[in-house]
Amino acid sequence: MPHIFENKLKGLEFWQASRIALAESEPGNHTLEVLKRLEILRNMEVELQSSDDFNQIPNVQALPKAYCRGILQSD
């Protein structure tokens, strides 16, 4: 197999592995967009734990719950 295709294959395999890991990180049948949004919200919550000048932690904690209940969906 030519070298360029081997590199593309490695990139695709890495992308697929990260996508599978993301899908397994949350229970339920969520779209890839929702899973990415949930990951972003988890990271935001961690950052806000150290500095939340505007009291946004309750909002950031409520959003993943709404996604998991199906109240919110990503378009």
Nearest to 46 by CA among 54, 36, 56: 56
Q: What is the pLDDT of residues 6-40, one digit of tens each?
A: 999 999 999 999 999 989 988 888 899 999 999 99
Whether the predicted model's global pTM rises above the 0.85 cut: no
Tokens matching residue 71: 């109240």
- Flag whether pLDDT at 42 surpasses 70: yes
